[in-house]
Chains A and B, each alone.
Chain A
Amino acid sequence: MGSRASTLLREEEIEEIKKETGFSHSQITRLYSRFTSLDKGENGTLREDQVNFRGFMRTLAHFRPVEDNEKNKNPPTTEPLNSRTNKLLFAFRLYDLDRDDKISRDELLQVLRMMVGVNISDEQLGSIADRTIQEADQNGDNCISFQEFMKVLEKVDVEQKMSIRFLH
């Protein structure tokens, strides 16, 4: 744990992750400890989906709170992973399972089914999905694109809702 684990994570890697995600050095070492303690198979990945530590950190980076004055001595050339747009893109991809940049009715139904289990009938779930698509869809293709998704959520405080406060 701790100092022993961070020797498995090289300093260059920590620097890279720091630049990519914006986490501090100590936060990265802590999260690496946590990652290794969850990684019971000790093969450097979590579960069947094979998330390695870089992927883990990238996902977590979306949930960093947005700070007003990012302590950026070098302003990033690309948008930071935890900007509002990127947070929304992350949420969009939770629905868009096949990564075709559109949320189809089927995808929406699948995600809905995961959230409600067996407690709602197919017909009811179907009508919920239809209504949601109807409200969001503006160009009439019966799918929700990322622009339409952003429009639906424009009033939601995404920065706060999709943020986890990491200590230190």
Chain B
Amino acid sequence: MENLWCVAAVVFQLWMFVVVFLITLPAMFGLSLGVTGVYIQILVKLLEWATVRIQRGQQEQPGVPVPLPTGIIERAEVSMEEEMWELRRSRPIPAKEFALSDVMYFYKKGLESIVDDQVTQRFSSEELASWNLLTRTNQNFQYISLRLTIIWGLGVFVRYCILFPLRITLAIIGLSWLVIGTTLVGFLPESRGKNWLSELVHLTCYRICARGLSATIHYHNKENRPQKGGICVANHTTPIDVVILANDGCYAMVGQIHGGLMGVLQRSMVRTCPHVWFERSEMKDRHAVTSRLRDHVAAKTKLPILIFPEGTCINNTSVMMFKKGSFEIGGTIYPVTIKYDPRFGDAFWNSSKYNMVSYLLRMMTSWAIVVNVWYLPPMTRQDDEDAAQFANRVKSAIAHQGGLLDLAWDGGLKRGKVKDSLKEEQQKMYSSIIVGQNGINPSETNNHATDDQSAFF
């Protein structure tokens, strides 16, 4: 019995030694032993081999459904006018009249949207072109070969029994270090030294947390990194975005005050550097939010603010409408694109399906997180554009850099319905076709949904 305890104690000590000296300390100083790099390379080779095997298997078994990343149906992008003209071509009556066949156009378009549309697919995980040997992404992939299944089984063992405890340990160390470190530094008086120490504490903590997710981050164009007194704007996929960005610089976070663990972290962070946390009730008041942020930006010595103008998590295949509130504050905007590599793990947080804890557990049991972060050159609002147009300009730049689809739809559609005004626009267009009044230009339908937003972000 005692022997068992001795053995357990030795194992535990060895474990802690490995974790602390080989991972935590190098992480704090931004060094790497290269283990993660090798791991990623092995994974890439493995996944390539798996892809080839699966494709071969699919050719042999024709009944297996093929993944369709472009959608279930083929849609022709024809305008309403063209379609109506086509429908009337065969009839002897003049073109601008109602015809019984008109209803077919609406029904077909409606069904096409029900079966497959561009927006709702952004609120669920991206479908992979080929299986990446994780159970959770196993959509429509059936048994192909014994070898593949063995590798998958090995993968499960490695991820859950070896990597997962390691990552949990690191995460706990990282977060406790944050709370302890900021509490200690918080006792110091305001000075340059305090700021420097606070940055150190934050950076080291985020680095440890990044290791806790096996995150490999590639930063591009570091010369465009956000400066003090600016606003950093990025596309939002997951709460981990914060960890990713904060590994390379210190930001002032903006957001709602939560309870529980998040609340503890928020309160401790605020002790050392001025983050902007809002009460839930304050969030609804746009002017209060804007003025607080403006004050923060005006003090040029404060850390750059980090804002996600989409307001909700999108699945990293597209960028949705940026809410213009962040772009009304003034100051320089530093756009940042964050693109996750979906082969190694699905980083998207589907908040309707998973809560924060199960999401983090899923993250920690994926293969790894591989991210590319591009810092884009700073932008400011031109004189002849308003906040909404500026927001769209920034959004296009971010989407273009990351190879993401630039959508004008509101991320709020995740939870709410489409506004009636959009339906009314379609009705107006149709009326002008059959009655021919008011010369309405049907191409003016893309600037919707940037005017009245009920939330700031």
Contact = CB atoms under 8 A, between A and B. Distances in A.
A29 interface: yes
B115 A34 contact: yes
B139 A2 contact: yes
Contact of A2 (B70, B93, B140): B140
A149 interface: yes
Contacts of A25: 63, 65
A166 B102 contact: no
B108 A29 contact: no
A164 B111 contact: yes
B73 interface: yes
A30 B101 contact: no
Contacts of A166: 72-74
A167 B427 contact: no
B71 interface: yes
A9 interface: no
B146 interface: no
Contact of A116 (B87, B103, B430): B430
Given A29-B65, A117-B427, A167-B71, A161 B115 contact: no
B104 A152 contact: no
Contact of B111 (A63, A144, A168): A63
Nearest to B427: A117
A129 to B, nearest CB: 8
Interface in B109-136: 111-112, 114-116, 120, 124
Contacts of A155: 90-91
Contacts of B33: none
B65 A26 contact: yes
A163 B104 CA distance: 10
B181 to A, nearest CB: 41
A1 B141 CA distance: 11
Interface residues on B, range: 35 or more
Contact of A128 (B430, B432, B434): B434
Contacts of A168: 65-66, 68
Contact of B101 (A63, A120, A156): A156
A34 B138 contact: no
Contacts of A8: none
B63 to A, nearest CB: 6
Given A128-B434, A166-B72, A167-B71, A161 B428 contact: no
Contacts of A135: 93
B100 interface: yes
A34 to B, nearest CB: 6
Contact of B100 (A37, A118, A136): A136
Interface in B82-113: 86-87, 90-91, 93, 97-108, 111-112
Interface string A83-121: 000000001001100000000000000011001111110
B431 A30 contact: no
Interface string B15-49: 00000000000000000000000000000000000
Contacts of A34: 72, 115-116
Contact of A161 (B101, B138, B424): B101
A94 B107 contact: yes
Nearest to B72: A30
Contacts of B70: 167
B109 to A, nearest CB: 10
A59 interface: yes
A117 B428 contact: yes
Contact of B108 (A38, A118, A149, A162): A162
Contacts of B357: none
A66 interface: no
Nearest to B124: A37
B68 A156 contact: no
A31 B31 CA distance: 49
Interface of B: 63-66, 68, 70-74, 86-87, 90-91, 93, 97-108, 111-112, 114-116, 120, 124, 138-142, 423-424, 427-428, 430-432, 434-435
Closest 5 CB pairs of A and B: A2-B139, A117-B427, A26-B65, A155-B90, A119-B431
Given A131-B97, A152-B100, A156-B101, 14 more contacts: A2-B139, A26-B64, A34-B115, A34-B116, A37-B120, A115-B430, A117-B424, A119-B428, A158-B104, A161-B86, A161-B108, A162-B104, A167-B68, A168-B66
Interface of A: 1-3, 25-27, 29-31, 33-34, 37-38, 59-60, 63, 91, 94-95, 111-112, 115-120, 124, 128, 131-132, 135-136, 144, 149, 152-153, 155-158, 161-168
26 contacts: A2-B138, A2-B140, A3-B141, A25-B65, A29-B65, A29-B140, A30-B72, A31-B72, A33-B139, A37-B120, A63-B111, A91-B100, A91-B101, A115-B430, A117-B428, A119-B427, A120-B434, A136-B100, A144-B100, A156-B90, A162-B104, A164-B112, A165-B73, A165-B74, A167-B71, A168-B66
